[in-house]
């Protein structure tokens, strides 16, 4: 039996209507602390580190106390990496805390304590990749540069290309396409990028796009094509029983301990001794935990 191929939808480069997107962002964009006019580049940088792989609702309770304690890069650099890991709490992927501390130190030593604005200079800092550098350049300094996260990629794919998006990282082609659609004026382009990102987070969500409520609904190519589906989806990652879960438990135990702990004390966090030992070794290797000469474990100082 022959299968009928799905029609290829027409591309609609005019789907990302700047006026509609900016009006949406003005009216429905979330009032997030790193978007406040007084926030400044360091707040944007901290938020971008925290938002890598962690949703806004989990970042908010950590972001405020972090900025109160370390309002400038030099304040964070003056404290220990272990303090940063402890304050990171349960945001997950705690290597980001170490990298943010290392970046604060590099900014303090090499950039007079000020977050640099150039993308290439930002990318030379620890933990700052292409996406984070562009996000800081756009949202902190108003640069005209494409900022493509999974939310933006999904809106771009659906509204402009007429295709649903599998959850893959952004490609250079995505960035080139979005750049060609940015408004010419840099500050407007930066706000446009934030608006597309917000639309993907709030309206054009992965599983339940709220099309009747969407400012792009009249021009959206995916909607016009009748919502053709993608065939391949990434498998959902399991969490229970993984080394990530065990590492998280060990880190939580170390964060909650006011003194170094003897290795046997860590036994309570996970029953599998081999997996536990493997995870302790990897945490020490990653610099997230330190093994003292007597064998006790602690956070880095
Ligand atoms: S109309 Fe629907 S699919 Fe198209 S951009 Fe809006 S929410 Fe997404």
Ligand 1 centre distance from Cα of residue 30 (Å): 19
Question: Ligand 1 centre from 137 Cα, in Å?
Answer: 27
**Inside any domain, residue 46:** yes
Same-domain check for residues 26 and 136:
yes
Find the CATH number of the domain harbouring 74.
Answer: 1.10.340.30
pLDDT of residue 7: 57
> Across the chain, what does the average pLDDT equal?
92
Residue 205 within a domain: no
- Domain-embedded: residue 234: no
Mean of pLDDT values over 237-247:
84
Nearest CA to ligand 1 atom 2: 211
**Residue of 6, 48, 168, 198 marked catalytic:** 48
How far apart are the CA of 229 and the centre of ligand 1, in A? 14
Interval 21-60: pLDDT, tens: 999 999 999 999 999 989 999 999 999 999 998 999 999 9
Residue 128 falls within a domain, yes or no?
Answer: yes
The pLDDT, as a whole number, for residue 1 is: 47
**Atom of ligand 1 at shortest range from CA of 154:** 8
> Among residues 141, 159, 185, which one ends one of the domains?
141
Is the Cβ atom of 154 under 6 angstroms away from ligand 1? no
Tell me whether residue 271 is in a domain.
yes
Higher-scoring residue by pLDDT: 103, 235: 103
* Residue 202 belongs to a domain: no
- Our answer to whether residue 48 is catalytic in this structure is yes
**Tens digits of per-residue pLDDT, 172-225?**
999 999 999 999 999 999 999 999 999 999 999 998 999 999 999 999 999 999
Q: Does pLDDT of 232 surpass 80?
A: no
Pocket test for ligand 1, best of 17, 206, 222, 228 (most atoms within 8 A of CB): 222
Q: Are residues 134 and 247 in the same domain?
A: no
Q: How many domains does the chain have?
A: 2
CATH of the domain at 292: 1.10.10
Please state the rounded mean pLDDT for residues 133-148: 97
User: Given the CA of residue 211, which atom of ligand 1 is nearest to it?
Assistant: 2
Of 141, 161, 186, at which residue does a domain stop?
Answer: 141
- Decide if 117 is inside a domain: yes
Query: Which atom of ligand 1 approaches the CA of 203 most closely?
Result: 7
Residue 220 Cβ < 6 Å to ligand 1 = yes
Cβ of 190 closer than 6 Å to ligand 1, yes or no, is no
Q: What is the DSSP string of the chain?
A: -PPPPPPPPPP-TT-S-HHHHHHHHHHH----GGGSTT-HHHHHHHHHHHHTTS-HHHHHHHHHHHHHH-SSHHHHHHS-HHHHHHHHTTSS-THHHHHHHHHHHHHHHHSTTS----HHHHHTSTT--HHHHHHHHHHHH--------HHHHHHIIIIII-----S----HHHHHHHHHHS-SSHHHHHHHHHHHHHHHHHTS-SS---GGG-TTTTT-HHHHTT-PPPS--PPPPP-TTSHHHHHHHHHHHHHH-SS-B-GGGGGGG-S-HHHHHHHHHHHHHTTSSEE-TTS-EE---
Give the end of a domain, one of 83, 108, 141.
141
Task: Please work out whether the CB of residue 211 comes within 6 Å of at least one atom of ligand 1.
Answer: yes
Residue closest via CA to ligand 1's atom 8 equals 204
Mutation pick for ligand 1 pocket among 206, 220, 230 (CB with most ligand atoms within 8 Å): 220
Domain that holds residue 267: 243-298
Q: Does the C-beta of 279 come closer than 6 Å to ligand 1? A: no
Confirm whether 197 is domain-assigned: no
């Amino acid at each position: 039996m022959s299968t009928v191929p799905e029609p290829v939808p027409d591309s609609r480069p005019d789907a990302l209507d700047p006026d509609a997107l900016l009006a949406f962002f003005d009216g429905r964009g979330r009032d997030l602390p790193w978007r406040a006019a007084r926030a400044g580049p360091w707040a944007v940088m901290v938020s971008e580190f925290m938002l890598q792989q962690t949703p806004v609702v989990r970042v908010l309770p950590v972001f405020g106390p972090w900025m109160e304690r370390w309002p400038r890069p030099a304040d964070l650099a003056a404290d220990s990496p272990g303090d940063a890991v402890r304050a990171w709490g349960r945001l997950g992927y705690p290597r980001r805390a170490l990298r943010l501390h290392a970046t604060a130190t590099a900014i303090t030593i090499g950039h007079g304590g000020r977050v640099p604005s150039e993308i290439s200079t930002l990318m030379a800092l620890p933990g700052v990749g292409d996406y984070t550098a562009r996000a800081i350049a756009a949202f902190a300094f108003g640069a005209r540069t494409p900022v493509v996260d999974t939310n933006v990629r999904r809106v771009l794919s659906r509204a402009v290309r007429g295709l649903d998006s599998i959850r893959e990282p952004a490609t250079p082609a995505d960035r080139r396409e979005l750049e060609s659609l940015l408004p010419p004026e840099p500050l407007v382009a930066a706000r446009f990028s934030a608006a597309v990102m917000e639309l993907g987070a709030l309206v054009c969500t992965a599983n339940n796009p709220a099309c009747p409520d969407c400012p792009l609904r009249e021009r959206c190519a995916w909607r016009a094509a009748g919502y053709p589906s993608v065939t391949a989806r990434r498998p959902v990652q399991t969490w229970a029983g993984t080394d990530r879960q065990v590492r998280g438990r060990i880190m939580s135990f170390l964060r909650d301990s006011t003194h170094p702990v003897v290795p046997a004390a860590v036994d309570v966090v996970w029953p599998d001794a081999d997996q536990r030992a493997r995870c302790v070794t990897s945490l020490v290797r990653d610099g997230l935990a330190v093994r003292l000469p007597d064998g006790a474990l602690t956070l880095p100082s």
